[in-house]
Structure 1
Amino acid sequence: MTALRGFEACARYLNFSQAALELHITQSAISHQIKQLEEIMGAQFFDRSSGAMTLTKAGAELLPTVRTFLKDINALAGRFERDAQGQSMVELFVHDSFANTWLIPRLPRFYAAHPNIRIQLNTDEFSRFDNPSAQAAIRLGEESAAWPGLFSEFILPERIFPVCSPALIARLGLPGSVAEVLKYPIILRWRSLQNGEMVSTPSWDYWLQKNDLSSLPFECVLTVPHSNMAVSAAIRGLGVAMARTSHLSDELDTGSLQKLVTEEMNCGTGYHFLCSPGKESTPEIRRILEWFRSESLQLTGR
């Protein structure tokens, strides 16, 4: 184990001194670990002939296996420790923006109600349900979306509405009609596809289309890649952002943001709770799902 940790650190830094510093051992000790590992495995993992240390082909093949092994060992040790303390851990896959702007601000209420359950957030793009530990995911999709082979429940409908800072309203006044929203400076969000093409997200487009305003001009003062950036810019008075109920925590309650129009528009999309079939009945997953239902009811009932 010690030699494998030393190998992983050396492969990450490609420098024995930096790896030794991270592991709080001497450079001589980590050099001995690597030599011992190479003798046991019968292969050379680092090439030092050119002056700069590089991974050999064998080292590059070994590295992902070692990293997976160390990650799994750490996770298993953590579970053993939590079991001894009477705690349960649930790995929850979420979009990073949803986690930052909706879930994390509300987690203190969950922990207050369930002190023996801990959540490990994972923002990997795809959920994995192939290990024995309790896992679940929150995924965005149309309300009628199907998730074959998984238990799914639609837990949080999304609605959109334009918001801005009270200071901007104090300066420009409230709009007299929905169309007058476009007289304010607008903050747009875009996302980048894997091929590098930038595509406007549908929130403003959808809102304009549903209000028959698509043909009217407006002033775009800022474009951002993430919804939480748009909300942050709106709080600071830069302009009007198209808010989504899933990307606000308490900004409306505290007054840092204010709706420009009172109506919230239903998008027909929202968040689904997913897990392997049958796991929705396990105590930890059931309590998390019930908590999401409760939070959703509070939000939709506001």
Structure 2
Amino acid sequence: MRAFDAVGQHLSFTGGAAALSVSQSAMSRHVIGLEELLGKQLFHRDTPKLTLTAAGEELLPVVRKCLDRLEQTMNGIRDDDTAKRALRIHIPPSLLQQLALPMLRDFKSEHPDIRIDVSSAHVTGLPATNLDMAIVFDRPNVDDRVTDLLWNVRVAPLCSPQTARDCAGSSLADFLAGQELLHVKLDDEPRDLLWATFARQCTLAIPTEGGLAFDTAIAAAQYAMAANGVFLGDYDMFAQELADGRLVMPFVMSIDDGYGYYLKLHADDLADPAISVFRTWLINRFADHPRRASVPA
């Protein structure tokens, strides 16, 4: 299993052998033995570059996760610290900064014995890292993971008070046509997807291709507050900025763009008491988070 994992991570018998400090022939024998045990080929060897077969792609992340969990458990036993294994969770940057940081503080106050390691990077969907659970920004989808909707996104055009004042009296279409539209990039999607969706749902004939694009909604919001432009922001996520007057919603027009924040984890991980406790706590905390009344569309 370790040999298969190393070769799969490097997509190279040479690279895998170097990682484990064994010979290439030994790595090959181990992988062949695993393939014979399964009755399935795990790698395509007849291509210029080693690639995983469908069976290999299915097995590799499971092996990686099991080996990682085994190593953590053994280290905990060795250090007499099994109960304090850190839970690894990914939280998208905007959600982390706007909502999740105080939640994590409260969870630590209530459960000081559970350690949490947080990673945060721009990504739509699941990040390509080894995690116990991940909050993802995505459309609804079905896969082999337990999926819980934490936060449904509803967006509206948001800008600085000065930007709104400069266009007082304009219609929504004229206002947006005369502004720099700030985009939040989504992986493998057109840069103007969110604005194009907003224009279509609101039947606005406006150009959406121009303007600056950012990796995160928080970056777009900070630019809008410091400079100019309009971004599509979740008005509940930016409730504090709206309350403080740093952002304004110049038009009462919002849409559900189909995206939300979902908690994802493997079903077998629910057997871990710490993961189960954190999942339940997080679902309840997001459910209890105050949200403003619906903005009429």
Q: Report TM bin, short chain.
A: 0.5 to 0.7
One-letter amino acid of the structure 2 residue matched with residue 147 of structure 1: D
1:243 aligned partner? 233
C-alpha distance in 1 between matches for 2:284 and 2:180: 33
**Which residue pairs with 2:8 in the alignment?**
none
Matches within 5 A, 1:268-287: 268-280=258-270, 282-287=272-277
Alignment partner for residue 112 of structure 1, among 96, 109, 114? Answer: 109
1:90 aligns with 2:57: no
Taking structure 1 as reference, are residues 271 and 224 closer, same or farther at Cα in structure 2, changes over 3 Å only? closer
Match of 2:154 among 136, 153, 159: 159
Amino acid at match of 1:182: L
| Dislocated runs of 4+, deviation >6 Å | 71-74, 80-83
CA, structure 1 residues 234+136, in 2 after alignment: closer, same or farther (shift >3 Å)? Answer: same
User: What is the correspondence of 1:1-302 to structure 2 with a 5 Å cutoff?
Assistant: 64-65=19-20, 79=76, 84=81, 87=84, 89-104=86-101, 106-122=103-119, 123=121, 125-126=127-128, 128=130, 135-143=132-140, 145-148=141-144, 150-173=145-168, 177-189=171-183, 191=185, 199-213=190-204, 215-217=205-207, 220-244=210-234, 248=238, 250-280=240-270, 282-289=272-279, 290-300=281-291
- Tell me the TM-score normalized by structure 2: 0.60
Contact 2:135 2:264 in 1 (8 A): yes
Query: Are the equivalent residues in 2 in contact too, given 1:159–1:266 (CA < 8 A)?
Result: yes
Displacement of 1:78:
7.8
Look up the SS of the partner of 2:206 in the other structure: coil
When the two structures are superposed, what TM-score results if normalisation uses the length of structure 1? 0.59
> CA 1:257 to 1:76, structure 2 compared with 1: closer, same or farther past 3 Å?
farther
Residue identity (%): 17
Bigger proportion of residues as strand: 1
For residue 250 of structure 1, give the secondary structure of its aligned residue in structure 2.
helix
For the structure 1 residues 116 and 139, does the alpha-carbon distance in structure 2 shift closer, same or farther, using more than 3 Å as the test? same
CA deviations 1:129-149 (Å, max 9, x no partner) are 7xxxxx112123323x2122x
C-alpha change, 1:63 and 1:72, in structure 2 (3 Å) is farther
Provide closer, same or farther for how the CA distance between residues 114 and 165 of structure 1 changes in structure 2, counting only shifts above 3 A: farther
Match of 2:24 in 1: none
- CA drift of 1:153 comes to 1.6
Deviations 1:98-133 (A, max 9, x none): 44454335432332333332221235823547xxxx
Long gaps (5+) in structure 2: 1-12, 22-63
Q: How many equivalent residue pairs?
A: 231
Q: What is the root-mean-square deviation of aligned Cα atoms in Å?
A: 4.0
* Contact 1:178–1:261 (8 Å) recurs in 2: yes
Q: For residues 237 and 252 of structure 1, do their structure 2 counterparts lie closer, same or farther at Cα, with a shift above 3 Å needed? A: same
Offset of residue 201 of structure 1: 4.1
Q: Deviations over 1:131-176 (max 9, x none)?
A: xxxx112123323x2122x222222111111111223234433x55
Following the alignment from structure 2 to structure 1, what is the Cα–Cα distance between the partners of residues 262 and 191? Answer: 23
1:183 deviation in Å? 4.7
Query: Structure 1 residue 243: deviation in Å?
Result: 1.0
The offset of 1:204, in angstroms, is 0.9
Whether the 8 Å CA contact 1:228–1:247 is kept in 2: the answer is: no
Q: Check conservation: 2:76, 2:82, Cα contact below 8 A.
A: no
Point out the structure with max Rg over C-alpha. 1
